[in-house]
Amino acid sequence: MDTGTSDALVPNLLLLELRESRSLGRGRLARELHRFCTARGWSSPGEQSIDKQIYRLETGRIRRPDRFYTRLICEFFERTEIELFGPSGTPGARAPRYRIRSHKFVPLYVGAEAVAALRRHPDESDGDWLDCYRVEGLELDGSPAFCWSFGVVMFHIVEELEPDSIAEVAVWRRVTYDLDMERAAAVVAAHGLEVLGDPYVLSAYWVDDVPLDAQHHDSALRLLCVPRVLVSRHERGTPQEKLARASVVEQAFLRDGFDHPDICDFGVRAIAAGYASWSGIVYSPLAPEQCLAEHELVACELSVQAAWAYTDHIRQVVEAGEDPDVPPEYGWRYLRGIRSRLTTERPQETSQHRAMREAIVQTSGLLRRLDQAIDTLRDCDRR
């Protein structure tokens, strides 16, 4: 008897990939499985029945086969039951999903004069970070805008996600990033502000649940830290086609284990898993009373991305062959102070907080940008 039926068809992409990697048609695979049964002295259901079962599994007409077919297919392909068919559960029950809170940071450089003209009030942020203000009357679909006196406005978009896979997040991220940048620039322009730098989006993911066993848990989080490895920027096709391709890649990475040289681990064993990369931040609490708080992660990213956007504007001006024109109070001495605040330990700072700050600053490339901006503005002062 087949189990795990569902009205929503979810193709078994890994099973399809395994068959095609051996250059087997469905009929040929059915013959191979029939011979596999015979060689082990098992009673074979026959090639026609096996072919039908393969078709139903690959197309998602059933999620999980009965015990006989589970053992047959798993032993033939030398894969575990979880790898091929996912965690077992009550027939017809909804499979467990990831529970992720996505924090998107969309910074826009508009200039110090433009920020000074905004109606704003101080944000209740940690004093160790850069002074931040909430902008009154400036929102992106309910998401607040913050600003920094040196000329940066930033939207902080929080979204609750319950994806079935990391591939689903990767495709969603690829589609929504462009839309978020366009909408953010449009909202700022409608407020009478001119965007002077290139907008971008940086994400941090707070992960409450991962529907995988311990063996695959960390690989999934590392994939979430660099989801671009699942979806090519130049890949064509519909979101559904991109998701199908990304799912195949994800299952291969989960099967073989995944790591990436850009990833910096700032987690603490048995307390929390934490990863930072150029693409984003991932944090999964294991001991909620002992790990970092979500607002600490957000506060760090707000300051780092604000400083990054400011130094990126200076970089663009320099590369255009011009000298940056910034108010004296936000010149090289001010940036030197930012570098100290973001990179120097505090007397009461915990080891977890320090590890988070160092990982985020290091993977963002901000320290190198700050040094270059400081040198540039200092040279301008000497002329």
The backbone region for 231, taken as left when phi is positive above 0, alpha when psi lies in -120 to 50, beta otherwise, is: beta
The rounded distance, in Å, linking the Cα atoms of 79 and 58 is: 16
222: CB partners within 8 A, 6+ apart: 258, 259, 260, 263, 275, 282
The whole model's pTM is what?
A: 0.75
Rounded distance between C-alpha atoms, residue 366 and residue 201, angstroms: 15
Domain boundaries, the chain: 13-85, 99-299
Q: pLDDT 10s per residue in the chain (383 long)?
A: 333 444 456 788 888 888 888 888 889 999 999 999 888 877 788 888 898 888 888 888 777 787 788 889 988 998 888 778 876 544 444 447 899 999 999 999 999 999 999 988 876 555 669 999 999 889 998 898 999 999 999 999 999 999 999 999 999 998 899 999 999 999 999 999 999 988 999 999 999 999 988 778 999 999 999 999 998 766 666 777 788 888 889 988 998 889 999 999 999 988 999 999 999 999 999 888 889 999 999 999 999 999 999 999 999 999 999 999 999 999 999 999 999 999 998 888 999 999 999 999 999 999 999 999 999 999 988 76
